[in-house]
């Protein structure tokens, strides 16, 4: 009989710039797993955030266990420099009535964080239109074999941005 355990959460320093991947029922588990694995391989802090709890099944039935819940994000909010929404329009529509999501987007707009979304239709939905996220800070990802390449390229750019974010967050030595 094999025994599977969930890996322990990694301890992160408070000043570590972080990427959040939102996760909920019927989200795209292929995109979520691709972003998480690729960005973590590049050394970035990536947290899978459960929108309605720690465990949810994606649109193909694969259940993923989140690192933290949406309510837990408040402690990291100043360090968030990218949020990835691996879901289509129907899932985003279900998020529109959640005040925690609106609070998250308002806060990340203050951080000049990037938002990565499924497609242009998601960009036009009320959730993203209701917040002061500049159009240039919203990026759509491909849905084909190019997703891994896109995640790698995005990860390299984010790694450079993370280094800048860390330098600005740390006090200068006198």
- Report pTM: 0.83
- Second CATH level (architecture) for the domain 18-155: 3-Layer(aba) Sandwich (3.40)
Could you give the CA distance from residue 174 to residue 159 in angstroms, rounded to a whole number?
A: 27
Measured at the CA of 157, the angle between CA 153 and CA 160, to 5 degrees, comes to: 145
Give the model confidence (pLDDT) of 60-105 as tens digits: 999 999 999 999 998 899 999 999 999 988 888 888 888 998 889 8
For 29-46, the pLDDT digits (tens) are 999 999 999 999 999 999
The structure tokens listed for 22 are 């939102």
Structure tokens at 18: 């972080």
In the chain, where are the structural domains located?
Answer: 18-155
**Among 21, 121, 141, 128, which Cα is nearest to 70's?**
21
């Amino acid at each position: 009989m094999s025994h599977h355990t969930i890996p322990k959460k990694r301890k992160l320093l408070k000043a570590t710039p972080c990427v959040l991947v939102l996760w909920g029922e019927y989200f795209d588990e292929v995109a979520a797993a691709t972003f998480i694995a690729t960005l973590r391989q590049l050394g970035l802090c990536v947290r899978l955030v459960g929108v309605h709890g720690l465990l949810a099944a994606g649109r193909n039935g694969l259940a993923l266990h989140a690192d933290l819940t949406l309510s837990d994000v408040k402690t990291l909010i100043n360090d968030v420099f990218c949020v990835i929404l691996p879901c289509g329009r129907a899932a985003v529509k279900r998020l529109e009535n959640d005040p925690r999501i609106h609070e998250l987007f308002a806060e990340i707009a203050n951080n000049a964080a990037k938002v990565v979304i499924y497609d242009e239709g998601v960009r036009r939905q009320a959730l993203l239109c209701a917040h002061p996220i500049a159009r240039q800070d919203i990026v759509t990802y491909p849905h084909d074999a190019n997703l891994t390449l896109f995640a790698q390229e995005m990860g390299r750019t984010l790694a450079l941005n993370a280094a800048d974010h860390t330098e600005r967050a740390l006090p200068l030595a006198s």
